[in-house]
Amino acid sequence: MPDSKTGPKTGHGAARHRFWFAMSGFVMALALLPFSFNVERRLETTVHIKGGESEKVDRELAQRFQSPYAHRVVLVISGVPDPDSPQAADTLAFLTTSLRSIPGVAGAISGVDWPDPMFTGNNGGALIIVGLGQHDQSVESLVPKLREKADWMEGQLRSQYPHIRLQITGETPINYDLRKVSADDVRHAEERAMPVTLFLLLLAFGSFVAALLPLGVGFLSISMAMGACALLTHFLHLSILVQNLATMAGLGLGIDYALLMVTRFREALAEGFDPGCAADIAGEQAGRTLIVSASTVAIGFSALLFVPISEIRSIGIAGLLVTVLSVMLCTFILPWVLGLLGHRIDAARLRLPFGRLKTLDSADSSNERWARWGSIVTRWPWTALLLAGIPLLVLALHARKISIGLPDRDSLPAQAESVKALHTLQAMGRSGVVQSLRVVLELPPQSPARSPAGWLALSRLTRRFQSDPRAQEVLSLPTLTAMSDTADGVDQIPEPIRKGLQSGDGRSALIELLPKPNLTPSQLMRWVREVRSSDAAAITGVPGAVLRVGGIPAINADYDSVVNERLPKVMVGVVLGSLLALLIGLRSLFAAVKAILLNLLSVGASFGTLVLVFQEGYGSKLLGLDGPTGAVFPIVPILSFAIVFGLSMDYEVFLVARVLEERRRGLSERSAVIEGVARTCGLITSAAAIMIAVFVAFTMGSFLVVQMLGFTLAVAVFIDATVVRMIVGPALLQLAGDWNWWPLGLHGAPVASEKPLLQ
């Protein structure tokens, strides 16, 4: 260090360099921020599975069949004493006529239009199926209009039926409500996480100014990422889960990266460098670590882009944006801001009644405590490794019990209007109307549906489904003609219903299977797979006949199949990509492989904990659950692995990069490990505490899938930042010695000295 304590001269050129980098970052922020407002209106709740059979069926019903009920909702009517009375018939006629008057409604059908037990509940009540047509806006935009009309109709009938209640449910209303619940969950999670995060930052830095900088970076990275997502919605299908992920990752990564940058800046100031030089040192040393760390995070998110599910790809895009923008803000804007603040970064010091606050970078006693801890671990590395590693291995082995599928319990937010309506429909024994399997029978040109051969084939398939004990009711052209031997009675079926069950060219017919209400989502998925794997030609007696299955259970089956197929590929891609990034960043094979193995251990232990708490129910009541879920959502393992692997690598890179830096300064391996632990464990603890607070805030939300994801991430970060980075990692570094840095990690480093800097 120069005698003037100014360090390397930065000069006006370096200052201009920081200024123009900062201005380019501000320009990008100003360009993206306006698009972030009300971004949830542009995000989708519908899942798009590229090449999925369920999506093909939906598109076929809308275009080829031109069915007015391809997209539909259910009006659930309760509080009507006798749905079969003449008075109730007048009421149903009034309701269907009122619904048909809404622009965008393609049709409304009740028991008055077509007598069928499906329209009447087991314990009273009735339902009306409402078709949503194609118009200038999405079908979800009709949900508020339908609810407004339902409130009006309810008011009109209140004098006749004092207890009448009209509710809207179905796939579209549920998706609409999920959008609102998601936005509310994000807002509440931010409200829960912000005070805790600010408190932890104040504990870390002891200064309001220093604490607000990472918080500002986190918020800005979220807003910029959401603005970029809003722009991308013009070209891509982006899921509503982008909100949750962008907020979780933005607060976690943005604050983590800024925390490292501010800490290194304050260290440089404490060593006597002037503000400009300290900002350059922080930008160079911390920036290099950030780039290596962010590369592994970005690789995890990038792997999600190769999964052909819009929901998972959306999270990959959002995660990539948050990661890139967080690094950009920390390396472009933050050094300039730090250079401007200088020693004023310690302004507004926090005063506590019980004495001076010990902070990350100014508390020598804290560093000495971590140095003593590092000395203990490096003195007995095998003991430390066994004591810490065995419990993690036990948890990781428990992850083998993970059951990927849809939970048996209700996973929808109970407070949503459409979910309440669905529960009413379930009490009526008619939830199968929402959860139906939509089976399309494709016949060869010489045997259309209404030909003798085609009609016989359709009747055989209908009877096959009617004999299935899982079917509550089967709807098809033959059932609507009382299983007539010929198709002569089809013309007597009302045209809107007929169009919904037969394609315009006559070659395809729809058979709708309404399942019994006691079937679980997993049982419905198995049913879908059975139908798809059945021999349609053998069942129908028509060579060339083909079956395709759509509906909500089919979407779930497609989703589950794609995730199970792609999960191993994503895991391999993330591991190999992270290994390559670490090899380039650390120039050491052993350090890179060790980091990968430790990350796999952290991920495995977090998955084992997920199985114990959610799948098997141990302690699940503390999270507001009423028991074990029996399964883990397919999206959770694939997302958790991709995200956790990158996030866990953050702390490995923080520690290993600092140890390598000390080795290159000439310290021995043990001295470097002790110094690395002393200099980074306080930072890792603070960063991990903040990230855990963010993830726990989402674990307390309404979405079971987000609860599972937030819990897994929180546990993984906790395990990684405590047991792995404070015990297992330093012990392995000590045991490996110079092999840690083979072949090029120590290239050009001076001869090692034996004396640790902190002991």
What is the rounded average pLDDT of the residues 325-333? 87
Residue 51 has phi, psi (to 5 degrees) of 80, 5
**With bands split at pLDDT 50, 70 and 90, how would you rate the model's confidence at 465?**
very high
Is 90 exceeded by the pLDDT of residue 698? Answer: no
Q: Does the pLDDT value for residue 196 go beyond 80?
A: yes
pLDDT above 90 (res 580): no
pLDDT over threshold 50, residue 758 = no
410: confidence class by pLDDT, cuts 50, 70, 90: low
pLDDT of residue 354: 41
CATH architecture classification, 1-36+206-362: Up-down Bundle (1.20)
Helix or strand or coil: residue 8? coil
Q: Which of 107-111, 247-251, 576-580 has the lowest mean pLDDT?
A: 247-251
Q: Which fold has domain 53-174?
A: Alpha-Beta Plaits (3.30.70)
Q: Which residues of 161-175 are buried (b: 16+ CB within 10 A; e: fewer)?
A: beebbbbbbbbbbbb
- What pLDDT, on a 0 to 100 scale, did the predictor assign at position 148? 92
Q: Alpha-carbon distance 147 to 319, whole Å?
A: 35
Helices (H), 105-240: 142-157, 171-205, 208-232
Q: Write down the domain spans for the chain.
A: 1-36+206-362, 53-174, 363-412+567-759, 429-556
CB within 8 Å of 352: residues ≥ 6 apart: none
Q: 340: part of which helix (H) or strand (E)?
A: helix 334-341
Q: What is the CA radius of gyration of the chain?
A: 31
- Beta-carbon contacts of 72 under 8 Å, excluding residues fewer than 6 positions away, are 129, 130, 131, 132, 170, 172
Give pLDDT, residue 111: 83
Mean pLDDT of 537-563: 90
Nearest to 71 by CA among 171, 141, 178, 152: 171
Q: Which of 452-466, 619-633, 652-666, 719-733 has the lowest mean pLDDT?
A: 652-666
Give the span between the Cα atoms of 469 and 148, in whole angstroms. Answer: 39
Mean pLDDT score, 690-698: 83
Mean of pLDDT values over 131-138: 69
Mean pLDDT value of segment 273-284: 83
How far is residue 113's CA from residue 293's CA, in Å, rounded to a whole number? 64
- Per-residue model confidence (pLDDT) at position 747: 56
Q: What single-letter DSSP state applies at residue 35?
A: G
Helix (H) or strand (E) holding 648, with range, is: helix 635-664
Average pLDDT in the chain: 82
The whole-angstrom distance between residue 595's C-alpha and the CA centroid of its chain comes to: 25
Helix (H) or strand (E) run with residue 278 in it: helix 275-281
Topology match between the domains 53-174 and 363-412+567-759: no
Q: What global pTM score does this model have?
A: 0.79
The residue ranges of DSSP E strands in 145-193, in sequence order, are: 165-169
Task: Look at residue 736 and tell me whether its pLDDT is greater than 60.
Answer: yes
**pLDDT by residue (tens digit) across 94-123?**
999 999 998 888 889 888 888 888 888 877
Amino acid 695 reads F
468-482, 490-504, 563-577, 732-746: segment of lowest average pLDDT = 732-746
Is pLDDT of 609 > 70? yes
> Of 413, 520, 613, 487, which Cα lies nearest the Cα of 421?
413
Instruction: Enumerate the β-bridge partners of residue 502.
Output: 509
Q: Write the class of the CATH domain 429-556.
A: alpha beta
Instruction: State residue 76's pLDDT score.
Output: 92
- Residues in CB range of 506: below 8 A, 6 or more apart: 448, 449, 450
Does 454 or 669 have the greater pLDDT score? Answer: 454
Phi, psi of 309 (to 5 degrees): -125, 125
Q: Is the pLDDT of residue 12 over 60?
A: no
Whether residue 618 has pLDDT greater than 50: yes
**Tens digit of pLDDT for each residue in 212-231?**
888 888 888 888 988 888 88
Which helix (H) or strand (E) segment holds residue 11: the answer is helix 11-32
Name the 3-class secondary structure at 32: helix
Say what the pLDDT of residue 134 is: 63
Give mean pLDDT, residues 350-375.
60
- Of residues 190 and 567, the one with the higher pLDDT is 567
Residue 374 is encoded by which pair of tokens?
Answer: 């590092």
Structure tokens that stand for 149 in this block = 């009309």
CATH: 3.40.50.300, 1.10.760.10, 1.20.1640.10, 3.40.1500.10. Which one for 363-412+567-759?
1.20.1640.10
- Among 151-165, 423-437, 488-502, 645-659, which is the least confidently predicted range? 645-659
Reported confidence tier of residue 362, pLDDT bands at 50, 70, 90: very low
What is residue 547's predicted lDDT score, i.e. its pLDDT? 93
Q: What DSSP element (H or E) covers 242? A: helix 241-270
- Residue 441 — very low, low, confident or very high, per pLDDT cuts 50/70/90? very high
pLDDT of residue 360 exceeding 90: no
pLDDT of residue 137: 59
Residue 125 backbone zone (phi > 0: left; psi -120 to 50: alpha; other: beta)? left
pLDDT tens readout for residues 75-87: 999 887 776 777 7
Is the pLDDT assigned to residue 7 strictly greater than 80? no
Tell me: cis bond preceding 743? Omega within 30 of 0 counts: yes
Q: Is the pLDDT at 365 greater than 70, yes or no? A: no
Confidence at 409, pLDDT banded by 50, 70, 90:
low
At residue 375, does pLDDT exceed 90? no
Distances (CA, A) of 359 to 205, 346, 516, 620, 684: 5, 11, 61, 36, 13
Other Cβ atoms within 10 Å of 84 Cβ, number: 12
Mean pLDDT of 733-757: 63
- What is the side-by-side order of every strand in the sheet holding 546-550? 471-475, 508-515, 437-442, 546-550
Whole-angstrom CA distances from 380 to 95, 384, 385, 665 are 78, 6, 9, 25
